[in-house]
Structure 1
Amino acid sequence: MPTDATAASTEEAATRVVAFFETLAPADVAALGRLYAVDARFKDPFNEVQGVPAIERIFGHMFEALDQPRFVVTGRVVQGPQCFLTWEFLFAFRNFDKGVTQTVRGASHLVFDDQGLVTLHRDYWDAAEELYEKLPLVGGLMRWLKKRANS
């Protein structure tokens, strides 16, 4: 059973993670090692990696592939060494709909070690609804498939 000290330290670690990601800039990617354990695992609908360098590559690529990506955390639940965040990811595509802000809504499950470092970061979001439907060509197909599945 978690102690009050564990909950407080997890709350502090979660606050650091939220502040970091809500202000994340390209130059900050190299500082992910201050938040993540050396062998931390990261998984989302497109990636499954382990280790800080691999996690840094994912967030570095985000800045290369998208314009003005940013996270807005909309909710947080802390229990024991775990935290569950809900968020909005705002960005613009570089190759089409330039300048049009896109929003992906999702959640992250974080597990912290005794030092308050992230050992597991698992992102949950619906790639079909939140991303594919916004793409030219693929979007039309995804909307059609969704309509057919719901009829």
Structure 2
Amino acid sequence: MNIIDKFSMFYVDLASMKIDGLANIYRKDVVFIDPIAQHQGLDAVERYFTRLLGNAKFCKFTIHSKAQSDEFNATVSWTMSYTSSKLNSGRPIDVDGVTVIKIENNMIVYHRDYYDLGQMVYEHIPILGRLISKIKRTVG
């Protein structure tokens, strides 16, 4: 199985994943970047996921497409569905995104997520969410 397929299978049900399973897809010196933070090294990524998943009751990814331009570069488009007791009154939130991956020796050495942090967090904070909705209606 290639690394992109392993990656996709791993993220399907993120909330039930085993943190130590990250070592099966990420190299020890991985660089992991998302709109929230940047993490250098597998240990830092494991700590990040431990904190992140501590707040999630449910977190699943639907993989829409996987494109590997060559043996070293790939992109994966997805929709993440998750619930958090701290956001949206515990109701599901869907976030669309894309992950850019760099590969060496069938391991991920670079992972960068692109998604709308507003769609993920800000729009689900009561006062801020109403303000963002009003701005979107005005601009759109």
Same fold judged by TM-score > 0.5?
yes
Residue 54 of structure 2 aligns with which residue? Answer: 64
Superposition deviation, residue 131 in structure 1: 2.9
**Alpha-carbon spacing, 1:14–1:97, altered in 2? closer, same or farther (3 Å):** same
Q: Which has the larger radius of gyration?
A: 1
Single out whichever of 51-60 and 90-99 deviates more from structure 2: 90-99
Structure 1: runs of 5 or more not aligned: 1-10
2:67 pairs with one of 77, 96, 112: 77
- Unpaired segments of 5 or more residues in structure 2? none
Contact 2:15/2:56 (8 A) holds in 1? no
Task: Give 2:10's match in structure 1, choosing from 20, 31, 40.
Answer: 20
Q: Matched residue of 2:18: which SS?
A: helix
Q: What's the CA shift string for 1:18-65, capped at 9, x where partnerless? A: 111113345511221121111100111101111001111222122111
- Is it true that 1:124 corresponds to 2:114 in the alignment? yes
SS at match of 1:104: strand
CA distance in 2, matches of 1:37, 1:101: 32
1:1-151 alignment, distance < 5 Å: 12-26=2-16, 28-80=18-70, 81-113=72-104, 115-148=105-138, 150=139
Output the TM-score relative to the length of structure 1: 0.83
Residue 7 of structure 1: aligned partner: none
Q: Could you state the TM-score of these two structures normalised by the residue count of structure 2?
A: 0.89
More strand by share: 2
Name the CA distance, whole Å, in 1 between partners of 2:118 and 2:15. Answer: 27
Q: Percent identical across equivalent pairs?
A: 22
What do you get for the CA RMSD once the two structures are aligned?
Answer: 1.9
For residues 64-99 of structure 1, what are the alpha-carbon distances to aligned partners after superposition, in whole Å with 9 as ceiling and x for unaligned? Answer: 112111212111111111110011111112135444
Deviates more, 1:50-59 or 1:24-33: 24-33
Cα pair 1:36 1:119 within 8 Å, conserved: yes
Whole-Å separation in 2 of the counterparts to 1:127 and 1:24: 18
Alignment length, in residue pairs?
139
Counterpart-to-counterpart distance in 2, 1:136 and 1:130: 13
Look up the SS of the partner of 1:142 in the other structure.
helix
CA–CA separation in structure 2 for the residues paired with 1:65 and 1:16: 25
**Matched residue SS, 1:19:** helix
